[in-house]
Amino acid sequence: MVIELLKAILFGIVEGVTEWLPISSTGHLILLDEFITLNVSDAFKSMFDVVIQLGAILAVIVLFFHKLNPFSPSKSDGEKKQTWQLWFKVIAAIIPSGIVGVLFDDWMDAHLHNAVVVSIALIVYGIAFILVENRKQGKYLSGGRNAVDNVYDITYRTALIIGLFQCLSLIPGTSRSGSTILGAILIGVGRSAGAEFSFFMAIPTMLGASAIKLLKFLLSGVSATGTEIGVLAVGCVVSFVVSLLVIKGLMQYVRSHSFSAFGVYRIVLGIIVLAYFALIA
C-alpha cells in the first residue's frame, strides 16, 4: 500500500503542476501511466485520472474566493452584481464543451487516450502558442494593445468564444487551460485576464467532469478497495497543495512573460514521446 500511496503523490504533483500550466494535465497523466502504473482496477483508474482534479479545483476556490464570492460583505452592491455577471459568463462559456463532453466522452476515452494522440496534440498546440505569441509581440511593437485586460470586462460573446476553444481540450494532450488561454489571446484578451477566466471556467467544468466519472464508476458496480480510496485521497490533497503554488507562480509569470516557453516545452516533449514509442514499437 505504501508504494501505491507514493505513486499517488507523484500523480498528484503532476496534476497540480500541469492542470494550470498550458501543457495538458490529462496528457501528462496518460504519459506518466505508461511508465508508472497504479495497482488499481481499470474502472477506478479511469475515474481517478479525472476526480484527482478536485484538489486542483479547491485551490482556485481558495485563492480567488473573494473575487468569486458574490455574497462578500466587503463588496458594494455594484461589485456583487459584477461578480454575479462574471459567474453567468463562466457558465455560458462552459456550455459548448459540456455538451460535446457528455455526447462523446466514452468514444474519446476509447479512441483518443493514447500516447500518439497526446504527442501530436502537444506538438501542434506548442507551435500554435509560439505563432500566437509572436503575432502578439508584433502587435505590441506596432503600438497595439489588448482589447480586454480585466476579467470583469469580458463580454458574453467573448466568453462563449473562449468556451468554444475549450472544446478543443477534450482531445488529450491539448490542455484545457492551454486551449482557453490561447483562444482568449487570439481574440484580444490579455494573458492575465485570460488565465483568470480559464481558471474560473475550470471550477464548473472539472466539477461536472468529476461528477460524471464518479457516477459512472459507482454505477459500474465495481467497489473501490481501501488502498484505492487512500490513493484517491492522497492524490487530491497533493494536487491541491501543488496547485496553490503553481497558480500563484503562473499569475506572477504572465504579467511579464509570454507563453512561448510553454510552446517550446510542448514541442520538445511531444517529439521525445513520439521517438520513444517508435523505438519500442
pLDDT digits (tens, 9 = 90+) for 98-138: 899 888 877 887 888 788 888 899 999 999 999 988 887 65
Contact predicate 92/154, CB 8 Å: no
What separation, in Å, do the N-terminal and C-terminal C-alpha atoms of the chain show? 32
The domain in which residue 56 lies consists of: 2-280
Read off the pLDDT band of 141 (50, 70, 90): very low
> How far, in Å, CA of 80 to CA of 65, rounded?
13
HEC string for 121-188: HHHHHHHHHHHHHHHHHHHHHCCCCCCECCHHHCCHHHHHHHHHHHHHHHCCCCCHHHHHHHHHHHCC
Q: What is the pLDDT of residue 146?
A: 62
Comparing 78-82, 88-92, 159-163, 183-187, the range with the smallest average pLDDT is: 183-187
Instruction: Label residue 226 exposed, middle or buried (CB < 10 Å: 0-12, 13-18, 19+).
Output: exposed
**pLDDT one-digit tens code per residue, 39-95:** 999 889 889 988 999 999 999 999 999 999 999 999 999 999 999 999 999 999 999
Q: What is the pTM of this model?
A: 0.86
User: Which of 3-31 are b and which e, b meaning 16 or more Cβ less than 10 Å from the residue's Cβ?
Assistant: ebeebbbebbbbbbbbbbbbbbbbbbbbb
Looking at per-residue pLDDT, the higher value among 145 and 28 belongs to: 28
Number of domains in the chain: 1
Closest to 173 in 3D by CA, of 28, 33, 12: 28
**pLDDT one-digit tens code per residue, 10-47:** 999 999 999 999 998 877 877 788 788 899 998 898 89
Residue where the block lists cell 488499481: 40
Which one-letter DSSP state was computed for residue 24? -
> How far, in Å, CA of 161 to CA of 86, rounded?
15
**pLDDT one-digit tens code per residue, 235-273:** 999 999 999 999 999 999 988 888 899 999 999 989 988
In the predicted structure, residue 142 carries a pLDDT above the cut 60: no
For 88, the enclosing helix (H) or strand (E) is helix 77-111
Q: What is the pLDDT of residue 140?
A: 44
In the predicted structure, residue 195 carries a pLDDT above the cut 90: yes
> How far, in Å, CA of 177 to CA of 53, rounded?
13
Q: What is the pLDDT of residue 147?
A: 73
Instruction: Label residue 140 exposed, middle or buried (CB < 10 Å: 0-12, 13-18, 19+).
Output: exposed
> What would you measure as the largest C-alpha separation in the chain, in angstroms?
62
Closest to 17 in 3D by CA, of 265, 276, 200: 265
Closest to 115 in 3D by CA, of 271, 267, 264, 274: 274
In the predicted structure, residue 145 carries a pLDDT above the cut 80: no
Comparing 179-188, 195-204, 217-226, the range with the smallest average pLDDT is: 217-226
Phi, psi of 231 (to 5 degrees): -60, -45
Q: What is the pLDDT of residue 138?
A: 55
